[in-house]
Structure formats: C-alpha cells, structure tokens
Amino acid sequence: MAIASLLLVSLLAGLSMCAIRGASNDQLEVYSWWTGPGEEEGLAAMAKAFEAANPGVRFVNAAVSGGAGSNAKAILASRLLANDPPDSYQRHAGLELLDDVRSGKVHDVSDLYDEQGWREVFPKGLLDNLTIDGKIYAVPVNIHRANLLWYNPQTLRDLGIQEPPKNWAEFLAQAEAIQAKGKVALAVGPEWTQKHLMETVLLGELGPNGYESLFNGNLAWTTPQVSSALDTFAKVLAVSDVKSASGDWQPQIDRVVQGSAVYAVMGDWASNYLEQTKKLRFGETYGAVASPGTDGVYDFLSDSFTLPTGARRPDLSRKWLVECGSAAGQNLFNPLKGSIPARTDADAALYQGYLGWALQQWRDPKTRIVGSLTHGVVANNAYNAEIDSALGLFVQHGDLGKFARTVQQQFRETQ
C-alpha cells in the first residue's frame, strides 16, 4: 500500500512537472530595455500581435529599465555567461554585435534573410552593419536618429530667441543670454546621455568625415582639431544642468517641456514620448531640429533582435524575428516607438509629423548617414566601455587632455 501510494505520488509529480514544462515551453522570452513611457508602447503592440498569430504561446516581456540599455546590457551579459539566454534579445546593428558573434552567443540568421527576401528590402548600409564575416546575425526592426535638438517653441518665444542654433558657437552665444534670464540652456540626464551629447558635439564640430575618421582610427583624439571639438563639448556641458541632473531621458525631456531648461539633445525616441505621453505636436507644441552643425547628417542606430545560442524555443525565436523584419511588424512598431522602419518598402503614409520628416530625411539621397557611438554602431563594446569610464572621470574632474589621451590609447588596445 505504502509503495503503491508512493508510486502514485511520484507519477502525479511527474505529470505535473510535464505540465509545468509544457506550459513554460510555450512561451517566448524577449529581452530589451523598453520599459516606461515612450519606450514600451511599440513592444507591447508587437507582443500582442505575436500572441494573436501564435495561439497558446505566451510572450514574456523580459525588459530591464534604463535608457540605452544602461542596466539591461550588464544583466544580459551575466545571463549569457551562465548560458541562460532569453529567446531573443535586443542589440544595435553595428560593432555592438561583434562580441556575441565572436563568442558564439548568437546564431547566423542569414537563411531567414534568404527565405524572407530581406536582402532586397533593407538598405545596403544597414545590411553591412549587420554582417560579420559574411554572415548576418540580427534582424533590424527600426531606424532611430540620434542627432536631434529638442525644444519647446513657447520657451523660445518667451526668451525672444528667433530659432534654434545652427552650430555650437551659436548655441553657446544663446546659452549666455538664456543663463542671464535665469534658465538652464541644456538639460542632460545620466551618463549615457552625456556621451550621447558628446557624440553630437563631435559630429557637429568635426563634420561627418572627421567623425567617421575618429572612430575608424584615421583621426587621433589628441589632434588639435579634436581637442578643439572636445573643448566645445566642455563648454556645452558647463551650461547644462549636469551637476544636478537626475533620472533618465524622460525627466531630461520633461525639463524642456516645462520650460526650466531650453534645449535637450536626445534621440528620436523622444518624439513618441512627446506625442503619446505628453500629447504635444511637432512644430506646434514641441520642436526638433538636427543638433547644431549636423543639418543634412543622419546619425543613425538600429534596434535589432537576435537568435541566441541555447534559446529554449528557437522555432518561436525565428517567428519573432520574422515579425520584427516584416512590413506589418515594422509598421505596427515604429509609429508607436518614435522610429522609422528599417525596411525601404514600408508605408510612408503611416509616418506623420516628426516621423514624416525623419523618413523624408532618411530617404533623401543627399543625406549623409553616419553611425552612432553611444548606440552601438561605430565602436565595439570594449572600446565603448573605456570611453564610458574616461568620460565619467572627465565630467567629474574636467581634465580634457587626459580624457583624449586615455581614449586614444584605449582605441589601440581594444581593436
């Protein structure tokens, strides 16, 4: 009797384990840093569409908060190290993918590109940024622009400012007048937003050729040209609220909306936050122009998803990637994310207001496209991490020469 009930108990336990495994197996865990207003809406819509297309499968949103992946990337690294990957995770197109590829953490998904005809619908430059040693390792869902200056037109009117500055010298001149009237010229947020700002100052001061040369090693950080651009960056930081800044990019933008700060440099995910969360309208109650000195230049980044080695349900991961790369998926996601589609054949009519302008600029053959530093395109992870540390020290202690020398040395050591 005792043996019979023991057998029964273990049989039931076995059955229920199977049930748990069965349940947890019918799910897709997607990892990103899209939480909070302005970040999560597009992902939520994609999750809903995924569940509708795959009845019985649960979409597990494993997003970790922190703009630009400031927390998510570190947590992901420890999961990958422990061989506990999600079924798909967010990466940027560009050199950010390199480590994962070299250490075998992601699968080659070139066959999906052939099957879905994606080589014909994604721009060549983007495909190049996703290709490592002839193979493609991620699927892009969007294109974001990093080099934008955001403002509240009412604040400019109140201060008697005719138009936003066209270069950083003009910005600094405006900043003096703004400070004299008791306002902050530029809102910044946590460290990644300071780096994002540095990237746009370098781009504006060096021009696209100089900027690209800096990151491909043809222009040294210690040259007079770059020192002068870094000096401008230091002056820009000095008229910002960096000493008191707290919170992520949304509170940074809030200060511009409320009018306590006049400008903010931020990527165009801000457009969704301003439109959907703050209910403002482009050209009426908020404005955005290319950051100073970068008119006609598109500092791009692209959110992409991967198929990790050891994903529990690679079949579902692939379905998710197909959704990310499809016209329907991109047209659902991007208007809600404040980005434009990575596909060249997406329906332009869906992109209005700020996004209409962004799409027109992106597609204009005269536009010069460069890749973002802060968001993974032009620097590998090791180099980016070294820039982070050096920049943190610079913001604290202000030693520009030391910053330039350290970054220059680290460029050599991290290639």
Tell me how far apart the alpha carbons of residues 392 and 404 are, in angstroms, rounded to a whole number.
13
Q: Of the listed pieces 61-69, 109-117, 208-216, 377-385, which binds ligand GAL according to CB under 6 A? A: 61-69
Q: Per-residue x/- mask for ligand GAL, residues 249 to 268, rule CB under 6 A?
A: x-----------------x-
Q: Residue 180, Cβ neighbours under 10 Å: how many? A: 9
Residue 240 pairs with which residues in a beta bridge? 186
Taking CB positions, which residue lies at the least distance from ligand GAL? 67
Q: Looking at residues 163 to 202 of the shown chain, list those that interact with ligand GAL (rule: CB under 6 A).
A: none
DSSP 291: P
Q: Of the listed pieces 46-54, 62-70, 353-361, 398-406, which binds ligand GAL according to CB under 6 A? A: 62-70
Q: Considering only residues 144, 255, 278, 313, which one is a binding residue for ligand GAL as defined by CB under 6 A?
A: 144
Q: Residue 204, Cβ neighbours under 10 Å: how many? A: 31
Minimal distance, residue 271 CB to ligand GAL, in Å: 11
Tell me how far apart the alpha carbons of residues 93 and 33 are, in angstroms, rounded to a whole number.
15
Give how far Cα 133 sits from Cα of 121, 283, 377, Å.
21, 44, 16
Q: Which residue has the tokens 């992870």?
A: 381
- Under the criterion CB under 6 A, does residue 273 sit at the interface with ligand GAL? no
Nearer to ligand GAL, 346 or 404 (CB): 346
Q: Per-residue x/- mask for ligand GAL, residues 26 to 45, rule CB under 6 A?
A: -------xx----x------
Please report which helix (H) or strand (E) contains residue 100, including its range. Answer: helix 98-102
Cα dihedral across residues 227, 231, 232, 237: positive or negative: positive
Minimal distance, residue 314 CB to ligand GAL, in Å: 24
Q: Looking at residues 355 to 394 of the shown chain, list those that interact with ligand GAL (rule: CB under 6 A).
A: 375
Nearer to ligand GAL, 242 or 301 (CB): 301
- Closest among 106, 100, 105, 110 to 131, alpha carbons compared: 110
DSSP E strands in 143-254: the ranges are 144-145, 148-151, 184-187
DSSP 38: T
Q: Looking at residues 63 to 92 of the shown chain, list those that interact with ligand GAL (rule: CB under 6 A).
A: 67-69, 92
- Closest among 352, 324, 339, 355 to 49, alpha carbons compared: 324
Minimal distance, residue 403 CB to ligand GAL, in Å: 23
Q: What are phi and psi of 280, to 5 degrees?
A: -105, 165
Q: Looking at residues 278 to 337 of the shown chain, list those that interact with ligand GAL (rule: CB under 6 A).
A: 301, 303
Minimal distance, residue 270 CB to ligand GAL, in Å: 9
Q: Residue 401, Cβ neighbours under 10 Å: how many? A: 11
Q: How many residues of this chain bind ligand GAL (CB under 6 A)?
A: 14
Nearer to ligand GAL, 304 or 410 (CB): 304
Tell me how far apart the alpha carbons of residues 317 and 310 are, in angstroms, rounded to a whole number.
11
Minimal distance, residue 266 CB to ligand GAL, in Å: 8
Nearer to ligand GAL, 34 or 233 (CB): 34
Residues that bind ligand GAL (CB under 6 A): 33-34, 39, 67-69, 92, 144, 249, 267, 269, 301, 303, 375
